[in-house]
Structure 1
């Protein structure tokens, strides 16, 4: 990994792209913060001595990004180079198709020799915060390509003709750049064409979008994400080479995520993990990460141990859970060593109910 950093930094330096170098050094500083604090501190000092100029991140392969004709604002968000702070935590059902795409691109010449094209388009579905955008960033990083993001809900205009023009400009631009293009909030535009509430211009735009997906060049990767798959036109589904559903994380994935975020010392506290897994069941990756980071900040500010801040969070929120989930948290708290009286105060569960839950849990184990 470090050799890749050196090569990329050298490439940026030789190209004379100062702003890109500053951005890249900031990302390196974040990655080195734990692994090499001394080097991280030196990078921070260098950045202070060389403040960033007010100019957009640019790449030799990503230039002249299309803009809105009236506002002159960029129609795309661009990220290059793409760097992740840690390895994403996914289930096998998500990781396998993503790794398949990367493997196909690395053997694209062999695929073309047998008359087969690598995956050109993928549709990501799932609730907010489950990792759809993270998956797009991971793919861009693995492929070494820029990530271009078009938020379709943001470019929708009361003047649909203008919206259509903007979307066409973005698609035409992205087709000429070896990149990963992410169409976020796809449902904002690719709605069912039999929806009587939509006018003809939007229906024509959906038709154009479907044609673009069909004709997407092999030199790029087109991704689309939606939180509302039920709103999509049925024709959209079969246009994509692959569809990946991002469910809310199950207990195994939550456990992996907690171990990664809690650090080595707390990651081995099985009793604490059991409480947190029961507490966070049904939450997205983003919400779990947010809550753990908040607990770590609270611990630092209040001079607490992190586990104290985490247990404070559990006590504060357990009463908001559904009864069945509250029972599971209560059982985990008892197994952690809290008395039935304490668990009753935290969860509102009667001691008789706690004893029943304990007996039921003992039978299952």
Structure 2
């Protein structure tokens, strides 16, 4: 007959399996309920474990308060639709972002300032409290915000424009205030993505008065932003922003499409351990992808990786197909690509010529130049 200790061990094992099963479904509320029950059930036999579980529950987010530790106020919602005005973004990154030297320097300074506020206070200075990220889509603006949040171990809140834009006059401005007031009183980083949608030039006659008033609301809120918080705004259309908005942000960071070197770094990060010579393929594909954004490059590489996985074939075969999908490169880029393909023995001169449209004589001349 099993003893009490064996029964408790079996019960603990079953509880662990049940917890794992529910955790894998992603139902966080059910996970918290099960942890709560376990902390009570095993308090006598395993007091230290029980205390640890209770401590974790106190720190963990709830449905009403997804922010850790310091927020007991529910996320703000639109009065009419009851939609939450903020989204809580997962700041986990699959790989470190790739920035040019200027961007990396700016972001590193912001992070360092937050880590060394005492040094700033000694000299009567405050850390940067507002940043404006400008640049085309897919160049890393949101990723940069995630990186800052991740490095500072703070939640990243993103203004949900679909929820904040109300059909009722005056309501949108109130929603903006709700969001900014909430973020001011929460230990977090707030990202106003596509800020040009609510901060257009006030001389734009095509916009109604309500949208123009939003600019005044936003200006006032930025001016009042506390140094304890960090406000980041991002725009894909800097030409649409009201000039007064530009002057309110303490640091402006301009993003652009990756250089060939940056593109190669990203590609190598994505395909390392999946191809025999990741460096070779990264160099070749960076020529092919020249002018494309980080997100577009990652999208195309990910499609190739998925196709390789489900077909159970080498990734190199799918990468070759990527090169065949589009043949709209400028002449000089085609020559460079053809030479790289031949020099790295990925394709023969004939195959490279067929792919790029560059004659074999031109390829030979450039290889021997």
Show the counterpart of 1:329: 337
Choose the corresponding residue for 1:77, options 87, 101, 110. 87
Size of the aligned set, in residue pairs, is: 316
Unpaired stretches in structure 2, ≥5 consecutive residues: 1-15, 30-62
Of the three residues 282, 292, 297, the one matched with 1:283 is 292
Instruction: Give me the TM-score of the superposition, normalised by structure 1.
Output: 0.80
Which residue in the other structure is 1:261 paired with?
270
TM alignment of 1:116-127, pairs within 5 A: 116-127=125-136
Q: 1:100 aligns with which of 109, 112, 115?
A: 109
Per-residue Cα deviation, 1:11-67 (whole angstroms, up to 9, x for no partner): xxxxxxxxxxxxxxxxxxxxxxxxxxxxxxxx9995324444375472333441000
| Partners of 2:265 and 2:282 within 8 A in 1 | no
Contact kept, 8 Å, 1:341 with 1:351, in 2: the verdict is: yes
Structure 1 residue 200, shift from structure 2 partner: 2.3
Q: CA deviation at 1:201?
A: 2.2
Provide Cα deviations, 1:235-281, integer angstroms capped at 9, x if missing partner: 11111110111111111111211221111463744432221111111
Following superposition, the deviation at residue 135 of structure 1 comes to 0.9
Q: Decide which structure has the larger Cα Rg and report it.
A: 2
Compare the two structures and name the one with the higher helix fraction: 1
> Residues 190 and 206 of structure 1 are in contact (CA less than 8 Å); yes or no, is this contact kept in structure 2?
yes
- 1:168 aligns to 2:177 (yes or no): yes
Among residues 73, 78, 99, which one is paired with 1:68 in the alignment?
A: 78
Q: How does 1:152-301 map to 2 (within 5 A)?
A: 152=161, 155-264=164-273, 266=275, 268-301=277-310
Change (3 A) 1:44 1:302: farther
TM-score by length of 2: 0.79
Secondary structure, aligned partner of 2:325: helix
Equivalence for 1:58: 66
1:127-167 per-position Cα deviation (integer Å, ceiling 9, x unaligned): 11111111111111111211110033653334342211111
Conservation of the 8 A alpha-carbon contact between 1:259 and 1:267: no
Q: Which moved more, 1:327-336 or 1:135-144?
A: 327-336
Matches within 5 A, 1:280-359: 280-317=289-326, 319-337=327-345, 338-355=347-364, 358=366
Mapped contact 1:271–1:335 kept (Cα < 8 A): no
Judged with a 3 Å threshold, the aligned counterparts in structure 2 of structure 1 residues 168 and 44 are, in CA distance, closer, same or farther, namely: farther
Q: The residue matched to 1:343 in structure 2 has which SS?
A: helix
SS state of the match for residue 266, structure 1?
coil
**Matched residue of 2:178: which SS?**
helix
Cα separation, 1, equivalents of 2:214 and 2:22: 49
Kindly indicate whether the alpha-carbon contact (under 8 Å) linking 1:315 and 1:346 is maintained by their aligned counterparts in 2: yes
CA shift in 2, pair 1:287/1:46, >3 Å: farther
The equivalent of 1:47 in structure 2 is 20
RMSD of equivalent CA atoms: 2.3
Structure 1 unaligned runs (5+)? 1-42
**Is the CA contact (8 Å cut-off) linking 2:135 and 2:235 kept in structure 1?**
yes
Change (3 A) 1:136 1:305: same
